[in-house]
Amino acid sequence: MDSLGNNVWMAITDIIYKIHSVSSMDKMRSIVLKQLQWVIPFDRATSYLAANGHDLSLCAPVTLNFPDEYVQQYLKNYYKYDYSRGIKLSANNIVYLDSDICDKKVWLKSTYYEQICKPNSIHHIIHINIAFNNTFLGILSLYRDEASTNFSYRDTFILNQLKDHLALRLYNAYTSTEQTLNTLSIFDCSVKYQLTAREERVLSLMAKGLTTDEMCNALIITPNTLKKHIMNVYKKMGIKNRIQLLKMVHE
């Protein structure tokens, strides 16, 4: 859509840069919500992460102009409010409007509208259902009041430029967390496999990716002595090489 203009494209590019460069997930999402105001008019915004891939519940809210009491109420009564479960189950990375999936008359009579939207003057909502590799990762939503028009094709187009970047960032964080949950820390590994203090130090250096020469210099030992420590670590952990070690341990 060339009619967006150079300033809007520059803003989109900056948002994409922030998605990938800001290390804190919460800070990144907060910046994205604030900077989206440069390119899409809206009154409120929320971003949630998927709490569990199986029950599709949400957690870690980051909001803009949305009262905390209603955020907590939404999380507490999520299953009563949620009418887009099918979209989350599909694990499709898509942009959609509430008006796309729910008749307006039905929506205005819903519990979600009465308890969350109406008290906050919300009348129009657009979402990014964030998913990657068949995994639901979270949702980002923008809200407008009744005096505003519904979100347009232009707004949808802009969010479509961001959805894949958000999905990749969240998926990388998700897989990193999964990996950490399925591995042991250096200390836990040392306790579990009854490593000596020197073997624990060797394990730590190996987990950091140091070469043989670098480990020898750090420990002030010969390569033959280092090899003996490494073989003892492998034997106690029941593995044969560093690749297997790195799959079991995180720093």
Mean pLDDT of the chain: 88
Residue 249: which of 213, 214, 202 has the closest Cα? 202
Q: For residue 136, give the amino acid letter.
A: F
CA distances from 34 to 37, 46, 47, 173, 223 (A): 6, 11, 12, 22, 54
Q: What is the pLDDT of residues 60-105, one digit of tens each?
A: 899 999 988 888 888 888 767 777 777 877 888 999 998 888 888 8
What integer pLDDT is reported at residue 29 of this predicted model?
Answer: 94
pLDDT at 183 over 80: no
Return the amino acid letter for 177: T
In this prediction, residue 155 carries a pLDDT of 97
List the domains of the chain with CATH numbers: 2-181 (3.30.450.40), 184-250 (1.10.10.10)
Buried b vs exposed e over 111-128: b needs ≥16 C-beta within 10 Å?
A: ebbeebbeeeebbbbbbb
Q: What is the pLDDT of residues 135-173, one digit of tens each?
A: 899 999 999 998 999 999 999 999 999 999 999 999 988
For the cut 90, the answer to whether the pLDDT of residue 226 exceeds it is yes
